[in-house]
Amino acid sequence: MSRLAALLLALTFAVPAFGQTPTNPAALTAPAPPDYKVKFDTSKGAFVVEVHRDWAPRGADRFYHLVKNGFFNNARFFRVVSGFMVQFGINADPKVSAVWRDANINDDPVKQSNTRGMITFATRGPNTRTTQVFINYADNARLDGMGFAPFGQVVSGMNVVDTLYGGYGEGAPRGAGPEQGRIQSEGNAYLIKEFPKLDYIKTATIVP
């Protein structure tokens, strides 16, 4: 085997030290710490989110387990709408996405407002939160009455969040951006081919 072939093989099968991507959502039930921080190393730089479990305990617990088990690593910021928000949380691997797509958690009461820098789970209606989250670019208080419960906020690096690539705009079919159904079924292969300018998460890790 050539040196190049061996290197490619190692890259293909290497398992990251930060943990396996979870494939059994029902097993991840332990409560998160009361407060914790998550560092996102991205293609544009780093930012840190501080989570407060008392703001939205179910959301904080789900986010903690996703981060701890590497769910967001290599995921794209697939919906970036200037003046509104940036959304992510579909796994890079469609096989993993299929496991989590219907792993719903119940809603939390809305205790904080969707102001700039707040991070919140996306929903498809009552009790449908799974893995997708968004960071507010502006004061989106209108979302509060719709049941969107922030569970944390960006405490450093919001300037990085502001520079994530948003040239594709809103997602299909309303805009020219990626179609979520295809992200779920095809993963990063679809995004890299058709939306190569999207920024992405290198790693997301719990930090002191």
User: Rounded to whole angstroms, how far apart are CA atoms 91 and 168?
Assistant: 20
Beta bridge partners, 36, equal 51
Does residue 115 carry a pLDDT above 80? yes
In a domain, 21, yes or no: no
What total of structural domains would you count in the chain?
A: 1
Question: For residue range 76-90, what is the model confidence (pLDDT) as tens digits?
Answer: 999 999 999 999 999
In a domain, 69, yes or no: yes
From the CB of residue 137, how many other CB atoms can be counted at a distance below 10 Å? Answer: 20
Considering only CA atoms, which of 56, 27, 16 is closest in space to residue 204? 16
In a domain, 6, yes or no: no
In a domain, 109, yes or no: yes
In a domain, 203, yes or no: yes
In a domain, 18, yes or no: no
User: Rounded to whole angstroms, how far apart are CA atoms 166 and 199?
Assistant: 9
CB 190 within 8 A of CB 183: yes
In a domain, 114, yes or no: yes
From the CB of residue 181, how many other CB atoms can be counted at a distance below 10 Å? Answer: 10
Question: For residue range 150-204, what is the model confidence (pLDDT) as tens digits?
Answer: 999 999 999 999 999 999 999 888 888 999 999 999 999 999 999 999 999 999 9
CB 164 within 8 A of CB 74: no
Which residue range(s) make up the domain with 74?
32-207
Question: For residue range 34-75, what is the model confidence (pLDDT) as tens digits?
Answer: 999 999 999 999 999 999 999 999 999 999 999 999 999 999
CATH of the domain at 84: 2.40.100.10
In a domain, 162, yes or no: yes
